[in-house]
């Protein structure tokens, strides 16, 4: 297999650029097998789903592999105050200072709240968290998050769970071009081709959950995403040719200069 | 301040009913083919014209539910705190005029119930009472929540409608969700079934979800009792209510239940019967109309219906239910609100859910969250 550049976020190096979620699978053992097939090394898990008081929590038991890093997320919180509390709880219980910051006060479309997210990100960075914020594909917001010290930005490709792909492509392009921290396209990636496309655009990684979890064969789909992300990254590293709508055999406007 | 009462006033019961019953196969096809669906589409989906499309509706509902909720089913359990009630409801076993021994749990009894319920594996609990403000009012609820909160990550309440300020006094004690069913949206019929007590005030009840929204409740549960009036028309109004509330209180989550009336002490003959096929149609119609709403099914339904409903669009199931105060620690069958139909345990339900390739979810919230 061809090797792609590894990805560094804060103090960790990842060989796989496919990050995954843990929800929606029909069972935790199916989730485990699918995530192993995907090769993912960063796996996000909702704090609200884990029984932190229980050492034998079934979700965590199935994620206990040396190459899998846990990324607890704050799904369910509606304000920055709740997000900070939830993050502290996760840090204590799961022994990681990494946090995927998700604040979506709107339970219908799960749209991230930019104001609360920025506020919480700033606070969490100050108290020592490695913060990966889920946010809108808003280039200014992403710069603001970077400025308060987030370790990456995670703009959405399209509404979460929608499987609609990169509907925010124009904004994602700007974010990728001007970001100094890794850009992880999160939400909306519904097919391996969407993931490949995000990588071709120059995203540093993608996060996929629904498309793997609810497919008819999550294990095969996990592998398909793995291959798509690798292919997209290899294509990005080897620079794609420029797309054109017509053949350009000559230079009609400047060829006179050579005569 | 907006209220559903204003929207409700624009819809007349009989005209609504006629509209639903005159929907055609073409209307159903349009509803099924749309990418975003309106309340008119919902009317078509619950109409008799949609019956031949039930399998297609089920497949669509299944796919939409999977996309949003994944292959998961959440489990919860009700806990009855009291059967005291000052209302007369013609269909209810707790009605003031039904001669049954009354009971309200004290601290020790609440904790004994909690102990048994925890041993069954539950983490989401639904607290239920009748309406008796002098016995089970805000103070009692605050105290009960204080006792119960350390043991559960999600607490729901199904009690008498309260004022907005009262709900605001309960959320700091760990209240996450409130269920309040309108029973029927037909005002005249409502008055026949609720002749006495505070509950006879139709508009106060109708306004309750608005008060819950203003109080910032995390989740609000709606529903109409099936059996009092024409279920299709009542379901239209429930969907209309849901549609309004989602826009007015965009930070709250919503759930729908479909309580079909069950036999109880002193119960009435039902005006409107609903077949299993019709209940399946209604479940699918809600899901196709609203991709995000939680759909909850209780132990009122039969084993076989509940087994099959897992794939129809249901997201939440109760199990192990006892509908009498103290029913878990003290297994004597008495003082029940209604007889349940599916008596299987949560552990058995979890196996049934897993066998269909779904994950039974016991915990999906945390006490750190409102």
Query: Stretch B255-265: mean pLDDT, rounded?
Result: 81
CA distance B44 to B50: 7
Distance (Å) from the alpha carbon of A61 to chain B's nearest alpha carbon: 15
pLDDT at residue B47 in the model: 97
Alpha carbon dihedral B100, B102, B105, B106, in 10-degree steps, equals -140
Highest mean pLDDT among A172-186, A242-256, B192-206: A172-186
Sequential DSSP letters for B184-198: -S-HHHHHHH--BSG
pLDDT at residue B334 in the model: 61
CB-nearest partner of B364 from A48, A210, A214: A48
| Closest to B224 measured CA to CA, from B237, B207, B210, B215 | B237
pLDDT at residue A57 in the model: 80
pLDDT at residue B124 in the model: 96
Give the pLDDT confidence of A8-66 residue by residue, as tens digits.
Answer: 999 999 999 999 999 888 888 898 999 999 999 999 998 888 887 777 788 888 888 88
Give the pLDDT confidence of B233-254 residue by residue, as tens digits.
Answer: 999 999 999 999 999 999 999 9
Chain B's closest residue to A21, CA to CA, is: B70
Active centre residues of A (catalytic): 100
B347 phi/psi in degrees, rounded to 5: -65, -40
pLDDT at residue A63 in the model: 82
Query: Stretch B284-296: mean pLDDT, rounded?
Result: 97
Local confidence band at A208 (pLDDT 50, 70, 90 cut-offs): very high
Q: Model-level pTM?
A: 0.87
Q: Report the half-sphere exposure of B136 (CA within 13 A, side-chain side).
A: 26
B364 contacts in chain A (CB < 8 Å): 48-49
Structure tokens at B248: 């007015």
pLDDT at residue B267 in the model: 59
Q: CA-based angle B338:B255:A50, to the nearest 5? A: 100
Task: State whether B359 and A25 contact (CB < 8 Å).
Answer: yes
Q: Name residue, tokens 């939680």.
A: B294
Task: State whether B366 and A26 contact (CB < 8 Å).
Answer: no
CA distance B87 to B351: 40
Query: Stretch B104-121: mean pLDDT, rounded?
Result: 94
What's the mean pLDDT when you consider all of chain B? 91
- Report DSSP state, residue B251: T
pLDDT at residue B266 in the model: 56
Q: Is CATH 3.20.20.70 the classification given to domain B4-364?
A: yes
Mutate to test the interface with B, among A81, A108, A187 (most CBs of B within 10 A): A108
- Hey, how many other C-beta atoms are within 10 angstroms of the C-beta on B355? 10
Chain B interface residues (partner A, CB cutoff 8 A): 66-72, 123, 153, 246, 250-253, 292, 354, 357-359, 361, 363-366, 368-370
A51 contacts in chain B (CB < 8 Å): 123, 363
Q: Could you give the C-alpha distances from B93 to A47, A232, B202, B290, B365, in angstroms and in order?
A: 40, 64, 20, 33, 32
pLDDT at residue A27 in the model: 87
**The pLDDT of residue A85 is above 80:** yes
pLDDT at residue B253 in the model: 95
User: In chain B, where are the structural domains located?
Assistant: 4-364
Chain B's closest residue to A188, CA to CA, is: B67
Are residues A80 and A103 in contact, defined by beta-carbon separation less than 8 angstroms? yes
CA distance B289 to B183: 21
* Residues forming beta bridges with residue A134, ordered by sequence position: A154
Prediction ipTM score = 0.74
Q: Could you give the C-alpha distances from A80 to A145, B14, B204, in angstroms and in order?
A: 14, 48, 35
Mutate to test the interface with A, among B65, B66, B67 (most CBs of A within 10 A): B67
pLDDT at residue B340 in the model: 78
Beta-carbon pairs below 8 A across chains A and B: 74
pLDDT at residue B249 in the model: 95
Task: State whether A27 and B357 contact (CB < 8 Å).
Answer: yes
pLDDT at residue B354 in the model: 94
Q: Report the half-sphere exposure of B114 (CA within 13 A, side-chain side).
A: 19
Q: Name residue, tokens 């760990």.
A: B174
Q: Is A94 on the interface with B (CB under 8 A)?
A: no
A23 contacts in chain B (CB < 8 Å): 70, 72
- Residue positions counted in chain B: 370
Burial state string for B291-329 with b = 16 or more CB within 10 A and e = fewer than 16: bbbbbbbbbbbeeebbbebbbbbbbbbbbbbbbbbbbbb
Structure tokens at B337: 């609100």
Give the pLDDT confidence of B128-165 residue by residue, as tens digits.
Answer: 998 888 888 999 999 999 999 999 999 999 999 999 99
A81 phi/psi in degrees, rounded to 5: -60, -45
Are residues B259 and B225 in contact, defined by beta-carbon separation less than 8 angstroms? yes
CA distance B91 to B270: 9
A48 contacts in chain B (CB < 8 Å): 153, 363-366, 369
pLDDT at residue A257 in the model: 76
Give the pLDDT confidence of A137-164 residue by residue, as tens digits.
Answer: 999 999 999 999 999 999 999 988 888 9
Which of helix, strand or coil describes residue A48? helix
Give the pLDDT confidence of A62-71 residue by residue, as tens digits.
Answer: 888 889 899 9
């Amino acid at each position: 297999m061809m090797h792609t550049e590894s990805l560094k976020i804060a103090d960790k190096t990842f060989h796989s650029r496919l990050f995954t979620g843990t929800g929606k699978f029909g069972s935790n053992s199916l989730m485990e097998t699918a995530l192993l097939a995907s090769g993912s090394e960063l796996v996000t898990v909702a704090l609200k789903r884990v029984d932190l008081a229980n050492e034998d929590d079934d979700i965590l038991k199935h994620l206990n592999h040396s190459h899998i890093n846990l990324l607890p997320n704050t799904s369910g919180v509606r304000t920055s105050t709740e997000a900070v509390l939830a993050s502290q709880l996760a840090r204590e219980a799961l022994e990681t200072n990494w946090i995927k910051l998700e604040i979506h006060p709107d339970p219908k479309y799960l749209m991230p709240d930019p104001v609360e997210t920025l506020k919480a990100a700033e606070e969490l960075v100050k108290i020592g968290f490695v913060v990966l914020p889920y946010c809108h594909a808003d280039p200014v917001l992403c710069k603001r998050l970077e400025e308060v010290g987030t370790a990456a930005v995670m703009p959405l490709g399209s509404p979460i769970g929608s499987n609609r792909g990169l509907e925010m492509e124009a904004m994602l392009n700007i974010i990728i071009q001007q970001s100094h921290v890794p850009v992880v396209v999160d939400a909306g990636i519904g097919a391996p081709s969407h993931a490949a496309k995000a990588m071709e655009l120059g995203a540093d990684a993608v996060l996929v959950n629904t498309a793997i979890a609810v497919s008819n064969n999550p294990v095969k789909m996990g592998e398909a995403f793995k291959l798509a992300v690798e292919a997209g990254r290899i294509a990005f590293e080897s620079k794609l040719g420029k797309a054109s709508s017509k053949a350009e055999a000559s230079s009609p406007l400047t060829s006179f200069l050579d005569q | 301040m907006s209220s559903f009462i204003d929207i409700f006033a624009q819809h007349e019961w009989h005209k609504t009913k006629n509209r639903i019953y005159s929907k055609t196969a073409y209307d159903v096809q349009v509803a099924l083919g749309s990418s975003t669906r309106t309340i008119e589409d919902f009317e078509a989906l619950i109409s008799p014209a949609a019956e031949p499309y039930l399998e297609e509706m089920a497949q669509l509902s299944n796919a939409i539910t999977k996309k949003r909720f994944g292959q998961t089913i959440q489990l919860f359990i009700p806990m009855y705190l009291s059967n005291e009630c000052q209302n007369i409801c013609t269909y209810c076993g707790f009605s003031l005029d039904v001669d049954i021994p009354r009971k309200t749990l004290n601290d020790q009894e609440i904790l004994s119930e909690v102990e048994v319920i925890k041993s069954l594996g539950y983490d989401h609990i639904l607290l239920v009472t009748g309406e008796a403000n002098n016995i089970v009012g805000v103070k009692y609820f605050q105290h009960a929540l204080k006792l119960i909160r350390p043991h559960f990550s999600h607490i729901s309440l199904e009690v008498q409608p309260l004022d907005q300020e009262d709900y605001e006094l309960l959320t700091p004690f760990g209240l996450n969700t409130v269920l309040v069913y309108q029973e029927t949206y037909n005002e005249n019929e409502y008055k026949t079934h609720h002749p006495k007590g505070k509950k006879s005030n139709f508009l106060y009840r109708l306004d309750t979800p608005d008060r819950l929204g203003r109080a910032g409740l995390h989740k609000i549960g709606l529903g109409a009792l099936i059996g009092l009036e024409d279920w299709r028309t009542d379901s239209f109004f429930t969907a209309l209510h849901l549609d309004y509330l989602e826009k007015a209180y965009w930070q709250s989550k919503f759930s729908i239940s479909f309580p079909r009336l069950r036999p109880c002490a002193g119960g009435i003959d039902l005006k409107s019967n609903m077949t299993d096929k019709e209940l399946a149609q209604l479940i699918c119609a809600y899901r196709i109309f609203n991709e995000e709403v939680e759909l909850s099914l209780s132990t009122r339904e039969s084993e076989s219906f509940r087994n099959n409903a897992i794939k129809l669009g249901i997201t939440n199931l109760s199990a192990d239910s006892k509908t009498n105060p103290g029913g878990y620690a003290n297994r004597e069958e008495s003082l029940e609100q209604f007889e349940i139909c599916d008596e299987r345990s949560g552990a058995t339900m979890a196996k049934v859910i897993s066998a269909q390739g779904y994950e039974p979810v016991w915990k999906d919230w945390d006490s750190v969250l409102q």
